């Protein structure tokens, strides 16, 4: 069942975080639905601009509609990840998405508010909700490169004014994470002090953590042993997810870790089966491994086991 992120956040706030997973293809969709239903967790499907143009934007919509029929117990939202104005309006008008993210975080404070407000007005008029971003993550996003050293954490003093003036429904905050497989330098970690200050000025308001892959070291070691070169890859400590949830984080974005599962499965499979050229055996292994990965992530997020109670809430 497709629901808005607003419904999911109302149920989760202060107790657990919902996993927001990016998908690009059929195998990821199957693994995501299977792993979430197996772990009885609600979830958010994220579709980036890159994912929409990978094949054709309609292909992913078709996949999700079918998955909704194949997995009738699933409860999830469909969300545009890191949209600009144009892609936000396209998704708002598609009649398919339940929420969009407008990412104008690279703009000035006032310009970010102005752009976000326009998207919020268009989205609310059609019953969708909007995630906005204040502060800048380190690492690389589509078209926006931010040097980690200059990454700007969200300023708690600005957060309340931003939410009031923009009218956004949830806020992505920069608290030390970055996108991709190479996070943190030295002993840096999550800035819970900043998060706690943001929660104080925005009590009860859903916060979002981007760049939250944990980049498991065993996964990295297996990829490197099978011909990869991901030396120094490092991620977020996922035992900290539940702490973040108690401080108002209701959505935690994970993409890179799924790509690592894909890379490990395919590198190992073709290393060990050099004579094979059939895509299905390795695809089957990936779907099963991705489902296992999703189920274990949902345990770390605290979202596992909440599906029955959500069915009662959303009817
Ligand atoms: O934050 C970015 C997400 O990981 C999506 O990545 O734009 O390469 O699809 P993408
Ligand atoms: P990761 O690169 O840490 O998986 O972050 C994904 C993300 O924030 C998508 O918006
Ligand atoms: Zn992101």
Atom of ligand 1 nearest to the CA of 48: 9
Total Cβ atoms within 10 A of residue 116:
29
Q: Kindly list the catalytic residues.
A: 81
Q: Which atom of ligand 1 is nearest to the CA of 211?
A: 1
CATH label of the domain that carries residue 119: 3.20.20.70
Q: How far is the CA of 148 from the centre of ligand 2 (A)?
A: 15
Distance 270 CA to ligand 3 centre (A): 31
Query: Which residue lies with its CA nearest to atom 5 of ligand 1?
Result: 48
Is the minimum distance from the CB of 198 to ligand 1 under 6 angstroms? no
pLDDT of residue 150: 47
Instruction: Tell me what pLDDT residue 138 has.
Output: 73
The domain total for the chain is 1
Atom of ligand 2 nearest to the CA of 180: 2
Q: In terms of pTM, does the model score above 0.85?
A: yes
| CB-CB contact of 205 with 163 (8 Å) | yes
**Which pair of tokens denotes residue 219?**
């996964």
The CB of 82 under 6 Å from ligand 1? The reply is yes
Q: Whose CA is nearest to atom 2 of ligand 1?
A: 141
Residue 165's Cβ-count burial label (10 Å; 0-12, 13-18, 19+) is middle
- Name which residue sits closest to atom 8 of ligand 1, judged by CA: 50
Per-residue pLDDT of the chain (315 residues; tens, 9 = 90+): 999 999 999 999 999 999 999 999 999 999 999 999 999 999 999 999 999 999 999 999 999 999 999 999 999 999 999 999 999 999 999 999 999 999 999 999 999 999 999 999 999 999 999 999 999 987 545 455 555 544 589 999 999 999 999 999 999 999 999 999 999 765 568 999 999 999 999 999 999 999 999 999 999 999 999 999 999 999 999 999 999 999 999 999 999 999 999 999 999 999 999 999 999 999 999 999 999 999 999 999 999 999 999 999 987
| pLDDT score recorded for residue 152 | 84
The helix (run of H) or strand (run of E) holding residue 262 is helix 256-272
Domain containing 136 equals 5-314
- Tell me, what's the pLDDT at 142? 47
Question: CB under 6 Å to ligand 2: residues?
Answer: 22, 81-82, 179-180, 210-213, 253-257
**Cβ of residue 300 lying under 6 Å from some atom of ligand 1:** no
Give the closest residue (by CA) to ligand 1 atom 6: 48
User: What sign has the CA pseudo-torsion 227, 229, 231, 235?
Assistant: negative
Ligand nearest to the CA of 238: 2
Q: Is the CB of 141 under 6 A from ligand 1?
A: yes
Helix, strand counts (H, E) of the chain = 13, 10
179 CA: nearest ligand 1 atom: 1
Q: Per-residue b/e over 168-192, b at no fewer than 16 CB within 10 Å?
A: bbbbbbbbbbbbbbbbbeeeeebbe
Task: Give the three-state DSSP class for 82.
Answer: strand
């Amino acid at each position: 069942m497709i629901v808005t992120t607003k419904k999911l956040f109302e149920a989760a706030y202060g107790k657990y975080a919902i996993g927001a997973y990016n998908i690009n293809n059929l195998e990821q969709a199957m693994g995501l639905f299977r792993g979430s239903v197996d772990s009885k967790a609600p979830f958010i499907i994220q579709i980036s601009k890159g994912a929409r143009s990978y094949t054709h934007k309609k292909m992913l919509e078709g996949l999700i509609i079918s998955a909704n029929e194949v997995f009738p117990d699933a409860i999830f939202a469909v969300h545009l990840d890191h949209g600009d104005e144009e892609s936000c309006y396209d998704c708002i008008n598609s009649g398919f998405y339940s929420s969009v993210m407008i990412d104008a975080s690279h703009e000035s404070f006032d310009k970010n508010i102005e752009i976000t407000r326009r998207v919020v007005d268009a989205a609310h008029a059609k019953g969708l909700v909007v995630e906005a971003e204040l502060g800048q993550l380190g690492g690389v996003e589509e078209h926006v490169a931010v040097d980690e050293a200059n990454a700007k954490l969200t300023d708690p003093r600005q957060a309340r004014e931003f939410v009031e003036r923009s009218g956004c429904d949830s806020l992505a905050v920069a608290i030390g994470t970055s996108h991709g497989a190479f996070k943190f330098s030295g002993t840096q970690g999550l800035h819970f002090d900043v998060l706690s200050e943001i929660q104080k000025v925005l009590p009860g308001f859903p916060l979002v953590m981007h760049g939250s892959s944990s980049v498991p070291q065993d996964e990295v070691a297996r990829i490197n042993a099978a011909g990869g070169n991901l030396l120094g890859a490092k991620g977020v400590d996922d035992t900290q997810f539940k702490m973040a949830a108690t401080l108002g984080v209701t959505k935690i974005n994970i993409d890179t870790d799924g790509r690592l599962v894909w890379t490990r499965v395919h590198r190992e499979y073709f290393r060990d089966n050099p004579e094979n050229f059939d895509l299905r055996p390795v695809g089957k292994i990936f779907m099963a491994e991705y489902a296992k990965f999703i189920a274990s992530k949902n345990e770390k997020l605290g979202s596992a086991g909440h599906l029955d109670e959500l069915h009662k809430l959303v009817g």
